[in-house]
Structure 1
Amino acid sequence: MAYNTSRARFSPPAPAAPRPRKRGRSPPAAVWCASAYVPPFDHRRRWQNHAGAPRRVWQGYPGSVPSRRWIVADEASTSSRDSCTIMSYNILADTHAQNHPALYWDVPWDAMRWDSRRRLILNEIRLWDSDLVCLQEVDRFRGIAAEMQQRGYECSFKGRTWDAEDGCATFWKSERLRLLEEDSIDFSEFNLWNNVAQILVFELNGTQKFVLGNIHVLFNPKRGDIKLGQIRMLLEKSKALSEKWDGIPIVLAGDFNCTPDSAIYKFLSTMKLNVSLHDRRQLSGLEDSEDLYELYRWSAEQVRNATGFSNVMVARHPLKLCSSYAMLKGNSSNRGDHGEPLATSYHKKFLGTVDYLWYTRGLECSRVLDTPPLSALRKTRGLPTREIGSDHLPIVAEFVFTGPTPDDSEQECDSEQEDDSEQEDDSAQKDHSEQEDESEQQDESEQDDASAQETTRAKHIYFADSDS
């Protein structure tokens, strides 16, 4: 019998018997360790690294920050009805993160993605469940506002002018707080750069009223005159709004872009500052002191920015302020000489504190959310991380309303602040030559201030361009 080659060539092969299919397993559950979160390993999927990004170990982040705890006042007269928790949080605008990649060189690329950071930021806000949330560097406001409104918050936003895309946003729980009046400051209208601030009047549970300020001060370390002018204007307008509502208390939140050992911090805590005794490039404590060799002379315009008058060398403000964190003692692992946290912000060129919650009489701080130890932050090699969504940490404080206090029995907010170098004759401030004579007479007090700054300089570090 002949062999049919055509059938052998075109006939399909007999189908193979199907192999028995193994029962699939679900991916293993996530494992939480004390030091870091280790994601489950999935054999079916490879990690797709970002194009051009350096290879990293993705099994977990070694610099996980420990959980934060509340520090409660010794005699906290807290009441759930008359207390109000306030958060201040610089969330790192997405445009800023993209425009300054050198500050986040050691941060994994996936931790810098906005969708990831946004989720972490909103989870952080939800975790601490504050009555008021003051955000800075908000450039994706609509997305954040939509989720916050679903959680029962109302909101107000003030964007920066010129070509900036970010601004300040304030959120409040509508079930507890009612907005009575709203004001804002566009500092560009006063030739004080294009930063903004919000000033709002709230009523808590239909009884207590207070003023809330939310500000993001200019970062530029060399423009201390602008920084001082922005803060001074916020304090003056907050005081005016408080008096309009019969002297109600004031809370000021925000990123003030100055360290606790700076002259601007001293201005906030002591109500005045003689600018002739300081270099405007060193007012905020953010500068690299190695680049400064001589005292910079103030021009009339710079004096006007700082004090409000071109012939007055002493900047003043009308509020007796207390810092919430400085009023409640922490431990040496995360608090500095002034009682402030050692760090609320960390990136490639800076590790230190610039975020504060200030308040006036009529309120007392019953507790604060303590910051992580400095050693734990250093292990991250910079923020954000896969657990922290910004290069700043949120600070949270709870305030309790008290009765009106006499002027002579106010809280000792500035008991440890040195004020010797600020005792000068007001009439002599209008003559620059007299200011030079006063500065020579107070050299000794300034040397004491310099030595005090040296003791805390290691705790608020401005890194050089080289590796930290």
Structure 2
Amino acid sequence: MASSAAPRARLSPPAPAVRPPRKRGRSPPSTRSTSSWRASAEHVAPRDQISRWRAPERAPDRVWRQFRPPQSALPTSRRWVSSEGASTSSSGDACTIMSYNILADYHARNHPDLYRDVPWDAMRWDSRRRLIIHEIRHWDPDLVCLQEVDRFQDIAAGMKSRGYEGIYQRRTGDTRDGCAMFWKSKRLRLLEEDSIDFSEFNLRNNVAQICVFELNGTHKLVLGNIHVLFNPKRGDVKLGQIRLLLEKANALAEKWDEIPIVLAGDFNSTPDVCFYFLLTHMILNISLHDRRKLSGLDSSEFDLYELCSSLKYQWSDEEVRNATGYSNVMVAEHPLKLSSSYANLKGNSSNRGLHAEPLATSFHKKFLGTVDYLWYTHGLECSRVLDTFPIGVLRRTRGLPTREIGSDHLPIIAEFAFTESVEDDFEEEDDSEQDNGSEQEVSTTQHAYLSTDDESR
């Protein structure tokens, strides 16, 4: 074989020194860049794992890692907005309360379509957990109300080292998340703990927490924490959940000698709809509204649901009972005179909208708007709030989370000062006499904010 191979080699023409490039040939492997599409250089995976990664805990879903342009970074700080006319009768004791929907890891992994523009490493729970804990520690609130908590022990471990104690209420059924409260044990003492499992009232499986705290051994307050059902088509259920929270919080406040109340949470309702009217005016005639249009989350702009808005929806007896508590009563009422902490301390046009509420507390691929609130009653005075980011800054990120914010919601924080108990009962009666004409204004301004977003999307 060797002797025959040599002559054939000699008869062959000599190979050219430089091989001419083929017309459709690929570039040499050495010139290819493998780092341009990666979120960071430290995350290097074998070729068969580059295009995707499997979620932890053997989750059935997969989050696809495709090329995603870099996100615009958010500012490293937010500014406080203080009250200019704070009462001089304040007792001097004050506490800060944070409300934060931290985006359950379970939901993040099962809804990748909402976070297509978010770098894959910013979606990882270990990264988000670190950012969430850092955010809480940085603002150092006295009380923390969290929603969408499905890894309570991870959060609790990070909070314990900063002197916080915590409690957790998980939703029932197949869901994995729930609500959690944390408080500084050196300043606050938990006097009574209660919760609401809405499935016991046939109002889905959401939960709420209601607790009584004592601050510095002197002042007491009721703190409620809720994550209202998202489903835009079930306004009756959403209204029923809010109604029960208000009733339970009021009963607990009366039990402890009319102490003030703070209600925190993700209410899954925008400021331009009738839920907001109910919270601020204490009364709502549901016959004036389509139950599928109650929360402001049903805008076709985001293609969440295909809903018909040409005709008023007829409420069934069951839906009326869910909303008001009685199948033959079309008016929902509650006994609390509530104020919104952010609405009372006005910001500027870059981040405040209808009713002076923030333009956005949540942002993902299918929603940009405000659903998170901190409400309070008499006996408290809101002295300052942590303002949200300007709407233009948020839009440039193309969605949350980011490498600076660990959730698709922004934490909201308000500082409350305890005041001398001065309450004019006759004023409360006057406010409860709101006519339905004002309510009609709510129906005509539905989606005022959501519809204007279309220009920038």
Q: Which band: TM-score by shorter chain?
A: 0.7 to 0.9
2:436 pairs with 1:421: yes
Q: What amino acid maps onto 2:320 in structure 1?
A: V
Query: What is the CA deviation profile of residues 262-306 of structure 1, one whole-angstrom value per residue up to 9, with x for unaligned ones?
Result: 111111111011111100000001112573232110000000000
Counterpart Cα distance in 1 of 2:142 and 2:350 = 29
Offset at 1:331? 0.3
| Distance of aligned partners of 1:103 and 1:46 in 2 relative to their CA distance in 1, 3 Å threshold | closer
SS in 2 for 1:155: strand
Counterpart Cα distance in 2 of 1:197 and 1:106 = 32
2:296 pairs with 1:278: no
Counterpart Cα distance in 2 of 1:395 and 1:375 = 18
Corresponding residue for 2:307?
291
Offset at 1:77? 5.1
| Distance of aligned partners of 1:162 and 1:309 in 2 relative to their CA distance in 1, 3 Å threshold | same
Counterpart Cα distance in 2 of 1:226 and 1:93 = 22
Offset at 1:108? 1.0
Quick check: 195-204 or 288-297, which moved more? 288-297
Q: What amino acid maps onto 2:217 in structure 1?
A: G
2:79 pairs with 1:54: no
**What is the aligned-residue identity percentage?**
68
Corresponding residue for 2:61?
none
Of the three residues 289, 298, 308, the one matched with 2:325 is 308
Offset at 1:397? 0.1
User: TM-score, normalization: structure 1?
Assistant: 0.80
Of the three residues 110, 113, 117, the one matched with 1:102 is 113
Q: What amino acid maps onto 1:138 in structure 2?
A: V
| Distance of aligned partners of 1:398 and 1:313 in 2 relative to their CA distance in 1, 3 Å threshold | same
Contact 2:166-2:183 at 8 Å conserved across structures: yes
Q: How many residues align?
A: 398
Corresponding residue for 1:10?
none
SS in 1 for 2:446: helix
Query: What is the CA deviation profile of residues 217-250 of structure 1, one whole-angstrom value per residue up to 9, with x for unaligned ones?
Result: 0000000000000000000000000000000000
Offset at 1:63? 3.8
Corresponding residue for 1:36?
none
What does residue range 62-461 of structure 1 map to in structure 2 within 5 Å?
62-65=72-75, 67-76=77-86, 82-288=93-299, 291-292=307-308, 293-407=310-424, 419-421=434-436, 446=440, 448-453=441-446, 455-458=448-451
SS in 1 for 2:319: helix
SS in 2 for 1:82: strand
Counterpart Cα distance in 2 of 1:272 and 1:80 = 32
SS in 2 for 1:130: coil
Contact 2:71-2:119 at 8 Å conserved across structures: no
Offset at 1:75? 2.6
SS in 2 for 1:161: coil
Counterpart Cα distance in 1 of 2:50 and 2:375 = 42
Offset at 1:61? 3.6
SS in 2 for 1:379: helix
Contact 1:361-1:411 at 8 Å conserved across structures: no
Counterpart Cα distance in 2 of 1:80 and 1:243 = 21
Runs of 5+ consecutive residues of structure 2 not aligned to the other structure = 1-37, 53-64, 301-305
Query: What is the CA deviation profile of residues 324-375 of structure 1, one whole-angstrom value per residue up to 9, with x for unaligned ones?
Result: 0000010000001201000000001100000000000000100000000000
Counterpart Cα distance in 2 of 1:61 and 1:455 = 28
Q: What amino acid maps onto 2:435 in structure 1?
A: D
Counterpart Cα distance in 2 of 1:308 and 1:64 = 44
Offset at 1:76? 3.1
SS in 1 for 2:354: coil
Counterpart Cα distance in 2 of 1:228 and 1:208 = 31
Counterpart Cα distance in 1 of 2:241 and 2:381 = 26
Q: What amino acid maps onto 1:456 in structure 2?
A: Y
Q: What amino acid maps onto 2:246 in structure 1?
A: L
Counterpart Cα distance in 2 of 1:262 and 1:152 = 39
Contact 1:66-1:376 at 8 Å conserved across structures: no
Quick check: 70-79 or 45-54, which moved more? 45-54
Corresponding residue for 1:16?
none
Q: What root-mean-square deviation, in Å, do the aligned CA atoms of Structure 1 and Structure 2 show?
A: 2.7
Runs of 5+ consecutive residues of structure 1 not aligned to the other structure = 1-38, 424-444
Contact 2:118-2:400 at 8 Å conserved across structures: yes
| Distance of aligned partners of 1:132 and 1:305 in 2 relative to their CA distance in 1, 3 Å threshold | same
Quick check: 168-177 or 75-84, which moved more? 75-84
User: TM-score, normalization: structure 2?
Assistant: 0.82
Corresponding residue for 1:435?
none
Counterpart Cα distance in 1 of 2:429 and 2:158 = 40
| Distance of aligned partners of 1:263 and 1:101 in 2 relative to their CA distance in 1, 3 Å threshold | same
Quick check: 114-123 or 47-56, which moved more? 47-56
| Distance of aligned partners of 1:411 and 1:75 in 2 relative to their CA distance in 1, 3 Å threshold | farther
Offset at 1:452? 3.1
Counterpart Cα distance in 2 of 1:419 and 1:347 = 36
Contact 1:369-1:395 at 8 Å conserved across structures: yes
Offset at 1:81? 5.3
Q: What amino acid maps onto 2:80 in structure 1?
A: W
